[in-house]
A and B are shown apart, each in its own frame.
Chain A
């Protein structure tokens, strides 16, 4: 069995800028991000936020320009005019920063001071590294910049080189870290005394101060017209950091732009109302409907196959073939629903034992023993509409052994893979890699195009689904601040919410009556309690729930009043279709289980 590294191996966070450029597939959102304005990238984990931020940097853009990849893609972009600084972060850093007050046993004031120093130092190290790239090594400019920074920050025992300033900052942080680990408050306070005050002032004080000094000393031919500070993982940063950077989006500083990442929910208090549209661009990186990410997925898959199997003409259609379950409209071959087609056989077989489906066909004057559309309109409005549910009911409600050997696995085929990836590049790359490993196993070099058997696709997609569920199970529910005293007592978990919702949607599909228009999403009422709202928000960030907006640009401003569906990657667990269906009130969804024990959870 091949493992499914769908989350880790393709995380851009620790790829070099050059490697990020080497696998970058341009998306329209990158053009928006390149504008000279503040931006907030909104999306769940793995949706490509880090990749986009890193692609803004000089090193990545230089690499892109030299690679010739630009000619391959339809989407072209011009280089941003600003100098982008990527400021790294990761889950560990966020956890450690956030938990500092409890883990170090310090007062809130000292903890925040320590956090501020570390956050500033991290940003400054990134700025210094970018500066080294701009000016190269050993120039007089470096000496001038270094001398100014040493004076400004009152650094002692530091040579006039950027490398030495970085080393001094590293030592300063290490000292603070040492005192934090043993909770030595008096030594910690002493260490703080030697830190420049701007390091524990406003988040942007030290970085913008450094940028001003660097700009002042750069020769005009090297001096960027503006800069962009790209803060990654802001959505899981300590509250004060989030607040300060989000508030800074309102600033009128046209020399330093902020490029921030955030969860799929617009930060509270910030609205994309007409009057604030000039403040920042909210850039959405997820897809509400199954069809939306298809062209991006196709481009990424085509690029992957070209890189992975050089010299062999391989296409996504040949690699996966089509998905009977998830193909829509023009993706279906012309002979679909005609006698002899898979769809025809499915309808006919289901009608042979599913009385409600048979009745449904009869009511519409369709012969259950020969279910063929009489017109294009009937094909579009009825046959295509009921196809996914018919397929699923036949697959999962028929007696075992009755399943036709000719019918391919349900969760397989190009459109199913794309749907279950949700257009999330990290997930899709992980899946593609596994499919390719499986297809190429045996060690011999491929000489002709590869098709991954449907059964293998289904198995790997099921593994990916199980793995995503394990991630949800591993992710603890964080209580909203006002409920923190309930810590350890709260019953609800992200995992249980997903299971309750999945079971409700499952019941919609597999009831006694064939559902013509089943429920497949839910809307959150205005009076939903804060714990439920927090669960949904965290599942949204994880990618377990997906917001359904009125347009592909629509960004939710609140959980209450919004509509969501389960991620398609969870479909195999609950045997659900890969299509967005109508909504039900959340209360109905959460009451969907008759298990009293489950009902009291939310």
Chain B
């Protein structure tokens, strides 16, 4: 199937009538925020799936999250955070079960998913073949602001994500489009590792919390100066549709002369835009960087109302 529309909805008005809900249970308390908002209110038959991390089962808010999901009737599937294979299998199976539903509505809460996981969800949608269209809502709950850590663990995983590899011949130079986060030097390290000829930077401004911006600018100062004004873009965090269109426009503009790689180190919402943009232009590659099991667990609490992004697939 192919993504045909993308728009942003008001969160509170639209949380009903789903045929399938897919969420994740990890160590952050924001993982259950959307599920708790929905509660038991679904009137019709709805399949509820929770992808449960095989790692960090006792850390932070994990036990409570598991209990809440179980109480709300979510069926749990244990998946490794780094792997897309198990998630692909679970989601593809759930989508297949909707074959007889005329225009199914699906909710995917990516708040506590890894990039490999929500990438697998998008890939499963792309691989799906069906006659009628599909409405997929992606929900994302922001985390309460915490200052950036002094140190971050070295990368254990760097490379393209399954289904988003581009595989283009090296006849054109590489352009890296990077969504900035606030780990010091992590972005510049990736940039030097990948060694692109052009680097284009994105960061949220205004952000969900104004305290994020100075930190992002400070830890990425050298990279931002090196990229130059023409290659640094800001997007309004609260306006997902505008951010998506900006990323799509910049990516498409570059694909004629460059081999584009997208990588998000910032909010997961930006990571989702990357997957959706790459689903439309298959030359684009998506990379992830991660310390894998060595990321230090932190209980990110929900902040504000979740973002709800409506996509339609045909």
The minimal Cβ–Cβ distance linking B296 to chain A, given in whole angstroms, is: 14
Whether the Cβ atoms of A99 and B155 lie closer than 8 Å is: no
Whether the Cβ atoms of B155 and A475 lie closer than 8 Å is: yes
Given contacts A8-B191, A473-B154, A488-B292, contact A183 B127 (CB under 8 A): yes
Which residues of chain B are near A473, meaning CB under 8 Å? 154-155, 185-186, 189
Which residue of B85, B173, B222 contacts A14 across the interface (Cβ within 8 Å)?
A: B173
Given contacts A14-B197, A91-B195, A474-B193, contact A104 B165 (CB under 8 A): yes
Whether the Cβ atoms of B165 and A471 lie closer than 8 Å is: no
Task: Tell me which of A36-44, A173-181, A198-206, A564-572 binds B.
Answer: A173-181
B241 interfacial contact with A, CB 8 Å: no
Given contacts A91-B195, A102-B162, A474-B193, contact A4 B222 (CB under 8 A): yes
A382 interfacial contact with B, CB 8 Å: no
Chain B residue nearest to A180 in the complex (CB): B167
Which residues of chain B are near A105, meaning CB under 8 Å? 85, 162
Whether the Cβ atoms of B169 and A470 lie closer than 8 Å is: no
Whether the Cβ atoms of A494 and B154 lie closer than 8 Å is: yes
Q: Interface on chain A toward B: helix, strand, loop, or mixed SS?
A: helix
Which residues of chain B are near A8, meaning CB under 8 Å? 191-192, 195-197, 199, 226
In angstroms, Cα B166 to Cα A118, docked, is 12
The minimal Cβ–Cβ distance linking A128 to chain B, given in whole angstroms, is: 11
A463 interfacial contact with B, CB 8 Å: yes
B21 interfacial contact with A, CB 8 Å: no
Which residue of B170, B195, B292 contacts A122 across the interface (Cβ within 8 Å)?
A: B170
Contact residues, B165-191 vs A (CB, 8 A): 165-171, 173-174, 185-186, 188-191
Which residues of chain A are near B127, meaning CB under 8 Å? 182-183
A93 interfacial contact with B, CB 8 Å: yes
Whether the Cβ atoms of B185 and A467 lie closer than 8 Å is: yes
The minimal Cβ–Cβ distance linking B247 to chain A, given in whole angstroms, is: 19
In angstroms, Cα B189 to Cα A3, docked, is 14
Which residues of chain A are near B297, meaning CB under 8 Å? none
Whether the Cβ atoms of A93 and B169 lie closer than 8 Å is: yes
Q: What sequence of 0s and 1s flags, for each residue 492-518 of chain A, a beta carbon within 8 Å of any chain B beta carbon?
A: 011110000000000000000000000
In angstroms, Cα B171 to Cα A122, docked, is 8
In angstroms, Cα B196 to Cα A182, docked, is 26
Which residues of chain A are near B192, meaning CB under 8 Å? 7-8, 467, 470-471, 474
Whether the Cβ atoms of B189 and A474 lie closer than 8 Å is: yes
Whether the Cβ atoms of A177 and B156 lie closer than 8 Å is: no
B194 interfacial contact with A, CB 8 Å: yes
Whether the Cβ atoms of B169 and A125 lie closer than 8 Å is: yes
Given contacts A473-B155, A495-B154, contact A467 B188 (CB under 8 A): yes
B126 interfacial contact with A, CB 8 Å: yes
Whether the Cβ atoms of A1 and B156 lie closer than 8 Å is: no
Chain A CB within 10 Å — which of B126, B188, B221 has the most?
A: B188
Which residues of chain A are near B168, meaning CB under 8 Å? 93, 177
Contact residues, A312-350 vs B (CB, 8 A): none
Whether the Cβ atoms of A92 and B174 lie closer than 8 Å is: yes
In angstroms, Cα B154 to Cα A477, docked, is 10
Contact residues, A447-474 vs B (CB, 8 A): 463, 466-467, 469-474
A88 interfacial contact with B, CB 8 Å: yes
Which residues of chain B are near A294, meaning CB under 8 Å? none
The minimal Cβ–Cβ distance linking B244 to chain A, given in whole angstroms, is: 21
The minimal Cβ–Cβ distance linking A127 to chain B, given in whole angstroms, is: 13
Whether the Cβ atoms of B165 and A181 lie closer than 8 Å is: yes
Whether the Cβ atoms of B167 and A11 lie closer than 8 Å is: no
Which residues of chain A are near B292, meaning CB under 8 Å? 488
Whether the Cβ atoms of B186 and A474 lie closer than 8 Å is: yes
Whether the Cβ atoms of B158 and A474 lie closer than 8 Å is: yes
Whether the Cβ atoms of B169 and A118 lie closer than 8 Å is: yes
Q: How many residues of A contact B (CB 8 A)?
A: 57
Which residue of B170, B194, B223, B225 contacts A89 across the interface (Cβ within 8 Å)?
A: B170
The minimal Cβ–Cβ distance linking A232 to chain B, given in whole angstroms, is: 9
Given contacts A8-B197, A103-B160, A182-B126, contact A96 B165 (CB under 8 A): yes
Which residue of A178, A463, A474, A475 contacts B222 across the interface (Cβ within 8 Å)?
A: A463
Whether the Cβ atoms of B195 and A100 lie closer than 8 Å is: no
Which residue of A4, A467, A470, A493 contacts B156 across the interface (Cβ within 8 Å)?
A: A493
Whether the Cβ atoms of B167 and A3 lie closer than 8 Å is: no
In angstroms, Cα B222 to Cα A2, docked, is 7
The minimal Cβ–Cβ distance linking B255 to chain A, given in whole angstroms, is: 13
Which residues of chain A are near B158, meaning CB under 8 Å? 474-476
Q: What sequence of 0s and 1s flags, for each residue 139-171 of chain B, a beta carbon within 8 Å of any chain A beta carbon?
A: 000000000000000111111111111111111
Whether the Cβ atoms of A470 and B185 lie closer than 8 Å is: yes
Whether the Cβ atoms of A95 and B160 lie closer than 8 Å is: yes
B285 interfacial contact with A, CB 8 Å: yes
The minimal Cβ–Cβ distance linking B167 to chain A, given in whole angstroms, is: 4
In angstroms, Cα B298 to Cα A217, docked, is 68
B16 interfacial contact with A, CB 8 Å: no
Whether the Cβ atoms of A92 and B189 lie closer than 8 Å is: no
Whether the Cβ atoms of B225 and A92 lie closer than 8 Å is: no
A121 interfacial contact with B, CB 8 Å: yes
B91 interfacial contact with A, CB 8 Å: no
In angstroms, Cα B223 to Cα A118, docked, is 33
Chain B residue nearest to A495 in the complex (CB): B154
Chain A residue nearest to B185 in the complex (CB): A470
Which residues of chain A are near B51, meaning CB under 8 Å? none
B82 interfacial contact with A, CB 8 Å: yes
B261 interfacial contact with A, CB 8 Å: yes
B48 interfacial contact with A, CB 8 Å: no
Whether the Cβ atoms of A7 and B169 lie closer than 8 Å is: no
Contact residues, B272-292 vs A (CB, 8 A): 282-283, 285, 289, 292
Q: What sequence of 0s and 1s flags, for each residue 106-141 of chain A, a beta carbon within 8 Å of any chain B beta carbon?
A: 000000000000100110010000000000000000
B268 interfacial contact with A, CB 8 Å: no
Chain A residue nearest to B190 in the complex (CB): A474
Q: What sequence of 0s and 1s flags, for each residue 267-282 of chain A, a beta carbon within 8 Å of any chain B beta carbon?
A: 0000000000000000
In angstroms, Cα B159 to Cα A420, docked, is 29
A529 interfacial contact with B, CB 8 Å: no
The minimal Cβ–Cβ distance linking A263 to chain B, given in whole angstroms, is: 15
In angstroms, Cα B261 to Cα A222, docked, is 40
A5 interfacial contact with B, CB 8 Å: yes
Which residue of A5, A14, A96, A182 contacts B166 across the interface (Cβ within 8 Å)?
A: A96
The minimal Cβ–Cβ distance linking B275 to chain A, given in whole angstroms, is: 13
The minimal Cβ–Cβ distance linking B185 to chain A, given in whole angstroms, is: 4
Chain B residue nearest to A469 in the complex (CB): B185
In angstroms, Cα B174 to Cα A4, docked, is 20
Chain B CB within 10 Å — which of A13, A91, A99, A463 has the most?
A: A91
The minimal Cβ–Cβ distance linking B177 to chain A, given in whole angstroms, is: 13
In angstroms, Cα B259 to Cα A567, docked, is 32
Chain A CB within 10 Å — which of B85, B126, B173, B223 has the most?
A: B173
The minimal Cβ–Cβ distance linking B178 to chain A, given in whole angstroms, is: 12
B293 interfacial contact with A, CB 8 Å: yes
A164 interfacial contact with B, CB 8 Å: no
Whether the Cβ atoms of B171 and A3 lie closer than 8 Å is: no
Whether the Cβ atoms of A11 and B195 lie closer than 8 Å is: yes
Whether the Cβ atoms of B193 and A471 lie closer than 8 Å is: yes
Whether the Cβ atoms of B170 and A93 lie closer than 8 Å is: yes
Chain A CB within 10 Å — which of B160, B164, B192, B197 has the most?
A: B192
Which residues of chain B are near A183, meaning CB under 8 Å? 127, 163
Chain A residue nearest to B170 in the complex (CB): A93
Which residue of A2, A3, A100, A472 contacts B223 across the interface (Cβ within 8 Å)?
A: A3
- Per CB-CB distance, the 7 closest pairs between chain A and chain B, nearest first, are A474-B189, A470-B185, A470-B189, A3-B226, A14-B173, A495-B154, A93-B170
29 contacts between A and B (CB under 8 A): A4-B226, A13-B195, A14-B197, A90-B170, A91-B174, A92-B259, A96-B166, A103-B160, A103-B161, A104-B165, A105-B162, A121-B169, A173-B169, A177-B167, A177-B283, A181-B163, A182-B163, A463-B222, A467-B185, A467-B188, A470-B186, A471-B192, A474-B154, A474-B189, A474-B190, A474-B193, A475-B155, A475-B189, A494-B154
Query: What 15 new A-B contacts, CB under 8 Å, besides A8-B199, A471-B193?
Result: A4-B226, A13-B173, A13-B197, A95-B160, A96-B160, A97-B167, A99-B165, A100-B167, A102-B162, A122-B170, A466-B185, A470-B188, A474-B189, A475-B189, A476-B156
